[in-house]
Amino acid sequence: MNSGQTEFEREIAQLLVSSLNLTVEAGAIDPEAPLFREGLGLDSIDMLEIALAISQHYGIQLRSDDPDNAVIFASLRALAGAIGARRTETGR
Amino acid sequence: MAQAWFEKRERGSHWSLRTARTLALRLGRRTARVWLMPVTAYFFCASREGRAGLRHYYQALDGRRPTLARLFRHFLTFARTILDRAYLLARHRDAPHYEIRGFEAVTSCLDRGQGAILLGAHLGSFEAARAAAFLRPGLKVRVIMHTGVSRTLNEIVTALRPETRESVVRLDGPAALLGVREFLGDGGLIGLMGDRTVEGEATYPAEFLGATARFPMGPVRLAAALRAPVFFFTALYRGPVEGICRYELVFEPLCGPAPDAPARAEWMRQLGERYAQILEKYCRLAPDNWFNFYDFWQTPDARASHPRPGRDPDGRECVRHRPPLDGCGVAQDRGARGPS
């Protein structure tokens, strides 16, 4: 079932599935596949829901003026990596 | 086909639109309105689809076939609102006057530092509704444009009022809407349209003027994701009184901020339903302000004469678009998708 996800990536995948009401299994999301448009087929509205869920669960605010946005939202792996790094920075 | 007609009409050519704008501002409203007659007569004769679309609308509205005179007056109202845009944006002396109703509810949100979403329709004048920006000093308004329609009109709008360039939100990346939420958090107003669908777009069914019509899912999902109060708004053209053109700018509460999933699905269902009800109410109040000149009750995919790739809510073509939510409305949050 696990498609090469780390434990934390799995946690984020669960968050995506519950906050977006996705019908796909969290464990089946390819961590390297693009989240936006191709791949998981999410759009900018979904990205907004994801950002909200992340701020509610991890207290991390994703901002529109963040130069890393294109990287952060690239894939599940990139998203989990960015959240992990920011959690360490803020000590949460 | 109908959509193609409308896009064609809205686009026109750069030259003719720019010339029209210059003439309108130089001649003044009274003279320009005389010229509207032959121009409207031309479009009225040339657009069989537009007339057919309006017949469907009037048939639904009052159960009988409209007279040609009524259809022509309808076309004329559309032409007049387009003309008024020029005066409005240029802040010309002939700019129309407004009667404002229901703005207190929006103001009470703003007083709490909370922005709001204004969900409009192709009913009345969208540009006139932008005048909401002048209702309160320092009020910031941004507009989310659905697709590439109105590109030329937008260029003219920008030429007349350079500051409006800033006010149109471009959905050009995964993080584009984060800025919109920050804007709402700073007490801004976001305007978008909730009635017109494009092929391949997810839709929800709602009762509208006695039959089931399909409305676009994107604006409802967007309003939910922005977690801000939603108001219906429209600027109805109400005709000249003593030579002064009058618009009625109306705001009506639709829903409070959306809850998180799973309650969000029910919130979206309610928003969709109320939106259609309120839209119907204002269609009955000012029938000739309806500017969807095609059969509104036909599904967008059936309307398309040449099926094109799907479009996502950002108006771009996408590889894997959401399947239409047939039969389940917005109650079922999402169809199946994701890696298969």
The answer, yes or no, to whether residue A22 has pLDDT greater than 90, is: no
Give yes or no for a contact between B276 and B283, defined as CB atoms under 8 angstroms apart: no
A57 in contact with B, Cβ within 8 Å: no
Question: B22-26, B54-58, B174-178: which range is least confident on average?
Answer: B22-26
Query: Comparing C-alpha atoms, which of B169, B172, B193 is closest to residue B180?
Result: B169
H or E segment to which residue B231 belongs: strand B230-241
Q: Are B312 and A48 in contact (CB < 8 Å)?
A: no
The answer, yes or no, to whether residue B179 has pLDDT greater than 80, is: yes
Q: Are B173 and A35 in contact (CB < 8 Å)?
A: no
A22 in contact with B, Cβ within 8 Å: yes
* Residue B148 or residue B116, greater confidence: B116
Q: What is the pLDDT of residue B152?
A: 46
Half-sphere exposure of A38 (CA within 13 A, CB side): 4
Confidence of residue B5 (pLDDT cuts 50, 70, 90): very low
The answer, yes or no, to whether residue B167 has pLDDT greater than 90, is: no
Give the minimum alpha-carbon distance from A92 to chain B in angstroms, rounded to a whole number.
23
Give the minimum alpha-carbon distance from B320 to chain A in angstroms, rounded to a whole number.
6
Confidence of residue B62 (pLDDT cuts 50, 70, 90): very high
Q: What is the pLDDT of residue B142?
A: 84
For residue A20, what is the domain's CATH number?
1.10.1200.10
Residue A66 with chain B: CB contacts under 8 Å: 175
Tell me the per-residue pLDDT of B270-305, one tens digit each, with 9 for 90 and over: 999 999 999 999 999 999 999 999 999 986 666 654
The answer, yes or no, to whether residue B102 has pLDDT greater than 50, is: yes
> The domain containing residue A43 runs over which residues?
7-90
- Looking at the partner chain, which of A30, A41, A72 has a beta carbon nearest the beta carbon of B320? A41
Tell me the per-residue pLDDT of A35-52, one tens digit each, with 9 for 90 and over: 887 778 888 899 999 999
Q: What is the pLDDT of residue B17?
A: 62
Q: What is the pLDDT of residue B149?
A: 43
The answer, yes or no, to whether residue B268 has pLDDT greater than 70, is: yes
The answer, yes or no, to whether residue B43 has pLDDT greater than 70, is: yes
Give yes or no for a contact between A32 and A75, defined as CB atoms under 8 angstroms apart: yes
Q: Are B318 and A45 in contact (CB < 8 Å)?
A: no
Q: What is the pLDDT of residue B143?
A: 82
Give yes or no for a contact between B186 and B257, defined as CB atoms under 8 angstroms apart: no
Confidence of residue A80 (pLDDT cuts 50, 70, 90): very high
DSSP per residue over B154-219, as a string?
A: HHHHHHH-TTHHHHEEP--STTHHHHHHHHHHTT-EEEEE-S---TT--EEEEEETTEEEEEEHHH
Best A17, A19, A21, A44 residue to mutate vs chain B (most B CBs within 10 Å) = A44
Give yes or no for a contact between B315 and A43, defined as CB atoms under 8 angstroms apart: no
Q: Are A29 and B320 in contact (CB < 8 Å)?
A: no
Question: A12-21, B6-15, B48-57, B288-297: which range is least confident on average?
Answer: B6-15
How many beta-carbon pairs under 8 angstroms link A with B? 107
Q: What is the C-alpha to C-alpha distance for residues B10 and B242, in angstroms, rounded to an integer?
A: 30
- Looking at the partner chain, which of B179, B225, B322 has a beta carbon nearest the beta carbon of A64? B179
Give yes or no for a contact between B199 and B307, defined as CB atoms under 8 angstroms apart: yes
Q: What is the pLDDT of residue B32?
A: 78
Residue A57 with chain B: CB contacts under 8 Å: none
Best A64, A69, A75, A79 residue to mutate vs chain B (most B CBs within 10 Å) = A64
Domain count, chain A: 1
Evaluate whether residue A49 is within a structural domain: yes
Residues near B205 by Cβ (< 8 Å), separated by ≥ 6? B212, B213, B214, B215, B327, B329
The answer, yes or no, to whether residue B6 has pLDDT greater than 50, is: no
Q: What is the pLDDT of residue B324?
A: 32
Q: Are B261 and A69 in contact (CB < 8 Å)?
A: no
Evaluate whether residue A84 is within a structural domain: yes
Q: Are B174 and A69 in contact (CB < 8 Å)?
A: yes
Q: What is the pLDDT of residue B316?
A: 41
* Residue B44 or residue B329, greater confidence: B44
Q: What is the pLDDT of residue B14?
A: 56
pLDDT average, residue stretch B13-19:
61
3-state helix, strand, coil in chain B (%, to 5): 45, 20, 35
pLDDT average, residue stretch B199-206:
87
pLDDT average, residue stretch B206-226:
94
Q: What is the mean pLDDT of chain B?
A: 78
Evaluate whether residue A18 is within a structural domain: yes
pTM (2 decimals)? 0.82
Residue B181 with chain A: CB contacts under 8 Å: 48, 51-52
Give the minimum alpha-carbon distance from A20 to chain B in angstroms, rounded to a whole number.
8
Give the minimum alpha-carbon distance from A21 to chain B in angstroms, rounded to a whole number.
6
Q: Taking CA atoms, what residue in A is nearest to B312?
A: A43
| Burial degree of B10 (CB within 10 A; 0-12, 13-18, 19+) | middle
Q: How far apart are the first and last CA of chain A?
A: 30
Residue B225 with chain A: CB contacts under 8 Å: 45-46, 48-49, 52
Half-sphere exposure of B206 (CA within 13 A, CB side): 25
DSSP per residue over B94-149, as a string?
A: TPPEEEEESHHHHHHHHHTT--EEEEE-SBB-HHHHGGGGGSSTT--EEEE--SST
Residue A23 with chain B: CB contacts under 8 Å: 334-338
* Residue A52 or residue B331, greater confidence: A52
The answer, yes or no, to whether residue A83 has pLDDT greater than 80, is: yes
Give the minimum alpha-carbon distance from B114 to chain A in angstroms, rounded to a whole number.
17
